[in-house]
Structure 1
Amino acid sequence: MFPGTPPHTKTARAHLTASAAPTTTPAPIIDDSYFVSNQLRLEIQHRNNLTLMQPDHALYPDLPLEVDNYHELCPIEAVGTLPKAHVLGYQTSTYKATHIKTGQHYCLRRVHGFRLPNTKCMVLVDMWKKLSHSNIVHLREVFTTKAFGDQSIVFVYDYHPDSETLLSRHFSQSETLNGYSDSFSSNPNAPRPYSHQKNAILRQQHSNGMLSESTIWSYVIQLTGALCAIHTAGLACRCLDPSKVIHTGRLRLRISCTSVFDVLTFDSTATNPLALIPHYQQEDLNALGKLVLALACRSLMAVQRENLQTSLDLMSRTYSSDLRNLIIYLLSGQQRRSIVDLMPMIGARYYSQLDNVQLQNDVLYTDLAKEMENGRLLRLLIKLGTMNERPELNMDPTWSETGDRYMLKLLRDHLFHQVTEDGRPFLDMAHVVHCLNRLDAGTPEKVCLMSRDEQSVLVVTYAELKECLEQSFGEIVACATGAGISSGGVGGHSSIVASPPGVQSQSSLMVGKQQPLA
């Protein structure tokens, strides 16, 4: 007479017991038909943990409590593990911080000991702030401060938790950046034999492992898209190296530290500060070629001037001629190059990249739809929790135990307090979801509700329960907004088998307009 959980609905007990299971016991498999995929859930939880991480003032006592409009500073990079000179000889530090007014989290890159002579460079900063691209870390603002005990300049960017640089992700930590940062500088040591240089690059390739060509092309497409947006805006990147390009998950790249070089090297005496932009744009293309070559060889030695030909020969053994020709074009300085010229070289690989992005979007959209359904059920539970066991309403201490609220109380027991034949709690999330969905839809399906003393049995439809829920919650909303309606009503339910004393049926009249639960 009263159908239970439909056969296509799986029992979701595993999700209830997963968090309570001991750490030594493997977590049960969770059905993904109800919830977001476990991999995505863990990824988002990890990022949220990093975002909500609080500063340890005992570990970093020198950090100020507030810097301009930001507080709760947490160092992102471990103090003392990186060289002091990061950018043009200046020491830099990176922090996660929270905006005091909005509560949003941002990444603060501080340049130590830099005094800004004037504000003319803010013309370039404003241009960077207007630039928004999916593969560029968005610059929010730039300000100077003495909060750290010196004269520092701080660049504020969007915060992307759990990101890592290409340097730490794809290259050996024992390698230095000296050769990469200035690949055409002369080596102070004696020139090494060709065989020694070749074997050194081969050893690094073997230890680091080769990247797939599809991964490299994905990186190329993303970085060229970012450079195209930058150059179209009349700017130059000037920071395209493995330590400034971050990987934010799922092969997603973003260029960070934008505008830092523009500010630190700004010539206030120049009549036209944008005159050198075309020259810097050519350097961007050269830097892109070196970055792709280093990724193909998995070695920073590959971009040193004396190793270029060796590196090109080695990467030609594994990768296609198209990738080799692209690198040669980027590294050639004989002609005036343009980022647009790379489009024909990439060719049909754009379709593969677009297909991968759209497939990933479909997966995320499916998981989002599940969470939207969970949010809908949460709003129902909030309404029920607001009414059940409420001490009083409008000076009536029996409000939650009489009238429509009594049926909602029995519905609460039907949802959460069922037991097995031997008296053990019956934990079945599928049963809860099944009933809440019918309550939200207001279906004509009937449900049998029983009091705890088993003396009263009510057979009602979900449509009637939904009407009780909406009216009772409307009374609470009206009371909260000052309308102050009273409970009670007229009418009845045709399917009531037995009714306890004092139980009233739902009212057909409700004063005031019910506000939706946000």
Structure 2
Amino acid sequence: MVFPNYHIYPPTAPHVAYMQPKANAPSFFMADELRQELINRHLITMAQIDQADMPAVPTEVDSYHSLFPLEPLPPPNRIQKSSNFGYITSCYKAVNSKDDLPYCLRRIHGFRLVNTKCMVLVDMWKKIQHSNIVTLREVFTTKAFAEPSLVFAYDFHAGGETMMSRHFNDPNADAYFTKRKWGQHEGPLPRQHAGLLPESLIWAYIVQLSSALRTIHTAGLACRVMDPTKILITGKTRLRVNCVGVFDVLTFDNSQNNNPLALMAQYQQADLISLGKVVLALACNSLAGIQRENLQKAMELVTINYSSDLKNLILYLLTDQNRMRSVNDIMPMIGARFYTQLDAAQMRNDVIEEDLAKEVQNGRLFRLLAKLGTINERPEFQKDPTWSETGDRYLLKLFRDHLFHQVTEAGAPWIDLSHIISCLNKLDAGVPEKISLISRDEKSVLVVTYSDLKRCFENTFQELIAAANGQL
């Protein structure tokens, strides 16, 4: 077997190359869409506030610092409470000084924790790790906000937006239920005119949400926050259930005979109804569709525009049953669509792995250029002003010109990224291939191998390192 003796960039794997449309972007680097998404996440992760503009935000809360509001802060004199939790809440990004990682802090204003037995449930939540659940890390009380507050610390997922803002932010979407009267049209409008979501997207959401519920219920807990305002969407279709465990602490009843899990079965049944409401709202593309007076019209909309499987799943979740239901009951209704989602996830993984393969060598090439930059054109070393122009350093200077400063026969700059990458890879591997280095006055030509250049490169850099460490 013969392998290349220097680092190379292979072409895109065929199963990925034929998966997506060909782009005009260079194949050396990741796709622009993925790059932009990652950059946006980094920007959000590194965002900070000007403390002078927001004096109400403390500099530190327990072991967290660099707080950054993730949503508009409620006014100081606000009386209206959250429609979900019954308390005024606010949300921040913060960095934990213990591990220097970013987290999301959900603050419950003015809450005094009088019973610590609920921490049993918090400990159960902290053990749950699932790809569709925002993990709860800790719960603590603080007076850093000038009033007693309860804070829930979750994993931070930069760039996430709620399902409410992604799909239910259009005021015109409710027009079908709020403005039309019976008899105006013969049945609901077709999907292409009603602006409804594709059924494949709804099933993708169902698979993820049911998977999250299955894990939560198996652990003996209940979600209790299956609501569009508490479901995060990152990327195109990735869902995560947020704010888990909040209700377990806020509504903890000390009279539950020392059994904090006494009502979990009841809450789990409520989770299934909440899941049905979320799916129905998605199918109608409107929160007005889940209101009791609109249910009949909403189901007619679903019947005309979607498959019978989706309609039956919604009816099963929303209809009272004479027995205890389980999230596993809807698995047969999902059926083979689960494999569609699995296939989509694996294809997405193939694309991301291919993008990673394009970038995996970039750190090594950057280190080569950084080392080369510390050597070339150094004005003085060990009181020798000609150090960078003599000996091994002169060869490296000519190699730098060979990399970056070549010109065409007409004297125009010749710029070829593949030439730069190929030469750097050969230098790093020290291949025996010969190269011609021409002086700037074109009066001398030096023929050397990449292995010679690598020896010069490493010896010179080690000389600089030794001087920097005081060993010379």
Q: TM-score range by the shorter chain?
A: 0.7 to 0.9
Q: How does 1:84-99 map to 2 (within 5 A)?
A: 84-99=81-96
User: Are 1:216 and 2:191 counterparts?
Assistant: no
CA distance in 1, matches of 2:28, 2:88: 49
User: Are 1:288 and 2:288 counterparts?
Assistant: no
Which residue number corresponds to residue 16 of structure 2? none
1:171–1:300 Cα contact (<8 Å) kept: yes
Q: For 2:224, which of 220, 223, 238 is the aligned residue? A: 238
Which residue number corresponds to residue 102 of structure 1? 99
Which residue number corresponds to residue 74 of structure 1? 68
SS in structure 2 opposite 1:148?
Answer: coil
CA distance in 1, matches of 2:317, 2:172: 24
Bigger Cα displacement from structure 2, 332-341 vs 222-231: 332-341
CA deviations on 1:401-427 (whole Å, 9 max, x unpaired) are 443232122211211233445555433
Which residue number corresponds to residue 308 of structure 1? 295
2:190–2:305 Cα contact (<8 Å) kept: no
CA distance in 2, matches of 1:411, 1:194: 75
CA deviations on 1:436-481 (whole Å, 9 max, x unpaired) are 1222232222211123343432111112212322333344445556
User: Are 1:331 and 2:325 counterparts?
Assistant: no
Q: How does 1:337-416 map to 2 (within 5 A)?
A: 337-390=325-378, 399-416=387-404
The structure-2 alpha-carbon separation of the partners of 1:454 and 1:341, relative to structure 1 and needing over 3 Å to count, comes to: same
SS in structure 1 opposite 2:228?
Answer: coil
Which residue number corresponds to residue 4 of structure 2? none
User: Are 1:61 and 2:49 counterparts?
Assistant: no
CA distance in 2, matches of 1:325, 1:277: 26
CA distance in 2, matches of 1:419, 1:105: 48
User: Are 1:272 and 2:259 counterparts?
Assistant: yes
Which residue number corresponds to residue 153 of structure 1? 150
CA deviations on 1:105-156 (whole Å, 9 max, x unpaired) are 2111111111111322111111111111111111111111111111111111
The structure-2 alpha-carbon separation of the partners of 1:204 and 1:347, relative to structure 1 and needing over 3 Å to count, comes to: closer
SS in structure 1 opposite 2:403?
Answer: helix
SS in structure 1 opposite 2:360?
Answer: helix
For 2:213, the aligned partner's letter is L
CA distance in 2, matches of 1:52, 1:194: 47
Bigger Cα displacement from structure 2, 413-422 vs 394-403: 394-403
CA distance in 2, matches of 1:112, 1:196: 45
The structure-2 alpha-carbon separation of the partners of 1:31 and 1:464, relative to structure 1 and needing over 3 Å to count, comes to: farther
Bigger Cα displacement from structure 2, 151-160 vs 239-248: 151-160
Q: What's the Cα RMSD here?
A: 3.1
Q: Unpaired runs of 5+ in structure 2? A: 1-8, 12-22
Equivalenced residues, count: 444
Which residue number corresponds to residue 115 of structure 1? 112
Bigger Cα displacement from structure 2, 414-423 vs 164-173: 414-423
CA distance in 1, matches of 2:110, 2:363: 49
SS in structure 1 opposite 2:329?
Answer: helix
For 1:55, the aligned partner's letter is I
2:190–2:304 Cα contact (<8 Å) kept: no
1:175–1:300 Cα contact (<8 Å) kept: no
Which residue number corresponds to residue 20 of structure 2? none
CA distance in 1, matches of 2:233, 2:215: 19
Bigger Cα displacement from structure 2, 30-39 vs 447-456: 447-456
SS in structure 2 opposite 1:60?
Answer: coil
CA distance in 2, matches of 1:416, 1:257: 53
CA deviations on 1:174-228 (whole Å, 9 max, x unpaired) are 4999xxxxxxxxxxxxxx99955998x9699899720111000000000011111
SS in structure 2 opposite 1:34?
Answer: coil
* TM-score normalised by L of structure 1: 0.78
For 1:369, the aligned partner's letter is A
SS in structure 1 opposite 2:205?
Answer: helix
Which residue number corresponds to residue 40 of structure 1? 34
The structure-2 alpha-carbon separation of the partners of 1:273 and 1:453, relative to structure 1 and needing over 3 Å to count, comes to: same
Bigger Cα displacement from structure 2, 417-426 vs 147-156: 417-426
Larger radius of gyration: 1
Overall identity of the aligned pairs, in %: 57
User: Are 1:435 and 2:435 counterparts?
Assistant: no
Q: Unpaired runs of 5+ in structure 1? A: 1-7, 11-28, 178-191, 486-518
